[in-house]
Amino acid sequence: MVENKPGNPCIVQSDCTLLLEIDNPLYPEARNTINRFAELIKSPDKIHTYRMTPLSIWNAYSSGVTIDEMIQALALYSKFGIPKEVVNTIRENAARFGKVRIFGKDKNLFLSFSDEFTAKKLTNAPEIAEFIGKKISDLDYKLPHEYRGKIKQLCIKRGYPVHDLAGYGKGESLSFSLKTVTQKGKPFLLRSYQEEAAAAFYKGGAVHGGSGVVVLPCGAGKTIVGISCMHKVQACTLILSSCRTSLKQWRKEILDKTTLTEDQVGEYSGTNKKILPVTISSYQILSYKDRRNMIHQHLELFKMRNWGLIIYDEVHLLPAPVFQITADLQTKRRLGLTATLVREDGREDEVFALVGPKKYDLPWKDLEKQGWIAKALCTEIRLPLEEDQQELYATADKRKKFRIASGNSHKLNMVKKLIKKHSQDQILIIGLYLDQLMEIAGPLNIPLLTGKTHHSQREEIYRRFKENELSVIAVSKIANFAIDLPDASVAIQISGTFGSRQEEAQRLGRILRPKEGNNQAFFYSLVTQNTTEQQFAFKRQRFLCEQGYDYRIISETDV
């Protein structure tokens, strides 16, 4: 008979959903444990709902969380025991990782199945059968090299993640060292978790290492993890990132922290197309399609050098054309870096299959406790609509409703109020709509940065902000990508891309770099109450709660 533990915070349901009481004293430790193998799907005030999915179980299992650890964690925090169906689901899904393997022998590739049932189930699937070669035995088939990625994509769609043990090509060698002192004379030493993340990815060069995803919050030094992985591989490296600003930051960090020289680290962008032993490019240029012949001409970059490592920075942003070419790059070591594996298009399974499973994940709150990132107070401020806007809103279609709610005129006064409240802090005002940003930045004489701001002007504003000549700047959706503003401690989000959790992670990350003193940051979201904006804000709230943050909801009179 299962002993009931009514003081515990979790109810485990037979459909693999977990109900977690947030007012329970054991909630923080239960949340941090359950987060490793379950996804948060609902986060109202009192009860948070998690769900274990095949992908969440595979990611946990592949990153070292055992079947017994998952089951024991549920038993530890459950009020009423664990339904047998849940135990069976965990065992069945975790056991599927490895039922299909790819291995290499004598320069050939083979697809191997653990049992006849799995072999027949998958080889009889029409979409899989056409890519498999000659049958060697009931459990083994030859696999053409060019279909290594395609088979991994198709098998995971069928619920069988492939364990790829075929290894990697060495790529063109590149010898360099990590510095112990930076160019500015500051000591440089990898943080313990950065070393752990790089080691988890590389696995000592073993065939089961060298491809996978490292999940760390913004501000935790994912670039340094990437550099450490480059150092372990010691081969020519292609780095793909989100924007030109990020490209320049990667290059700056590589030159600052390694013995690589200016003529070894190149930028492949719209204005500069240097292909050097380390080449840094953006998803934007790789996705560019020539209008005359409608081809992605810059995808040839993947073949222009014998790369030994490809780094996908912000891997959750991988666009479709890069996914396609990534399927053909299975002989290359592949590292994905991200603050969240969430993709709004639901293609997380393709990241798992083509880049690799999650190899390392450190909760945001753990880093906060250790002082590596700032503590963040997340607050949603709900504002009413003016009466004339209410009438427009009532008759608008869904998209226009969101635009009206996002542009709520009450937001200007709230921005003023928050700037006054945080007069001693460095503040970012972040929004989606340029006209809204101009309506707020103009009257307050705040510099506004957009995608059209000239690079030199942008760099000058960043410099003035870093040197405290400016205390407030307004930023468009470029804030969703890498901008280096370590002193920013307050973010005021006035509008966003519907309920994008990716965007929430990036925007919060802008203020998470450690601060002197109390190491505190403040993240405000201005939301129009009783509108579609409030509905989309719930998705963002869910993401922040999943990371362990307390999320306050207040009215304008509470500020």
Q: Are residues 385 and 357 in the same domain?
A: no
CA distance linking residue 55 with residue 16, whole number of Å: 13
88 φ, ψ (degrees, to nearest 5): -65, -40
Q: Are residues 436 and 536 in the same domain?
A: yes
Burial of 452 (0-12, 13-18, 19+ CB in 10 A): exposed
Q: Are residues 337 and 198 in the same domain?
A: yes
> Is residue 542 in a domain?
yes
> Is residue 182 in a domain?
no
DSSP bridge pairs for 493:
430, 525
Edge-first strand order for the sheet with 551-555 is 448-449, 472-475, 427-430, 490-493, 520-528, 375-383, 551-555
Q: Which of 362, 384, 400 is the last residue of a domain?
A: 362
Domain range for 149 is 100-165
**According to the model, what pLDDT value does residue 92 have?**
95
Distance of CA 158 to the CA centre of its chain: 24
CA distance linking residue 103 with residue 154, whole number of Å: 17
> Is residue 79 in a domain?
yes
Q: At what angle do helices 54-62 and 84-96 cross, to 10 degrees?
A: 60
> Is residue 176 in a domain?
no
Q: Which of 165, 180, 214 is the last residue of a domain?
A: 165
Q: Which of 45, 62, 96 is the last residue of a domain?
A: 96
**According to the model, what pLDDT value does residue 501 have?**
64
Q: Are residues 528 and 475 in the same domain?
A: yes
Q: Are residues 472 and 399 in the same domain?
A: yes
Q: Are residues 295 and 322 in the same domain?
A: yes
**According to the model, what pLDDT value does residue 12 have?**
96
Q: Are residues 203 and 349 in the same domain?
A: yes
Q: Are residues 400 and 463 in the same domain?
A: yes
Q: Are residues 386 and 358 in the same domain?
A: no
pLDDT tens over the chain, length 559 residues: 457 888 999 999 999 999 999 889 998 889 888 988 998 777 666 788 899 999 999 989 988 899 999 999 999 999 998 999 999 999 999 999 989 999 999 889 999 999 999 999 999 999 999 999 999 999 999 999 999 999 999 999 999 999 999 999 889 999 999 999 988 888 999 999 999 999 999 998 887 789 999 988 877 889 999 999 999 999 999 999 987 778 888 999 999 999 999 999 999 887 788 899 999 998 888 876 666 665 666 778 888 899 999 999 988 888 888 888 888 899 999 999 988 777 767 788 999 999 999 898 877 777 888 888 888 888 999 999 988 888 889 999 988 998 999 899 999 999 999 999 999 999 999 998 899 999 999 999 999 988 788 878 888 888 898 888 999 999 887 765 656 666 789 999 998 876 566 677 778 878 888 887 788 899 999 999 999 888 888 877 777 776 667 788 999 999 8
Q: At what angle do helices 410-421 and 434-441 cross, to 10 degrees?
A: 50
Instruction: Give start and end residues of each alpha helix (H) in 98-191.
Output: 116-123, 126-129, 148-157
DSSP bridge pairs for 312:
240, 336
CATH number for 428? 3.40.50.300
**According to the model, what pLDDT value does residue 190 have?**
95
Listed in sequence order, the residues at least 6 apart from 1 whose beta carbon sits closer than 8 Å to its beta carbon are none
CA distance linking residue 454 with residue 224, whole number of Å: 28
465 φ, ψ (degrees, to nearest 5): -70, -45
CA distance linking residue 246 with residue 254, whole number of Å: 12
Burial of 76 (0-12, 13-18, 19+ CB in 10 A): middle
> Is residue 178 in a domain?
no
The SS3 assignment for 293 reads coil
> Is residue 3 in a domain?
no
Q: Are residues 201 and 147 in the same domain?
A: no
The SS3 assignment for 111 reads strand
> Is residue 480 in a domain?
yes
**pTM attached to this predicted model:** 0.82
Q: Are residues 105 and 92 in the same domain?
A: no
The DSSP line for 487-511 is T--EEEE---STT-HHHHHHHHHTT
> Is residue 173 in a domain?
no
Nearest to 482 by CA among 245, 316, 220: 245
Q: How many folded domains does the chain comprise?
A: 4
Q: At what angle do helices 532-546 and 501-509 cross, to 10 degrees?
A: 60
Q: Are residues 482 and 403 in the same domain?
A: yes
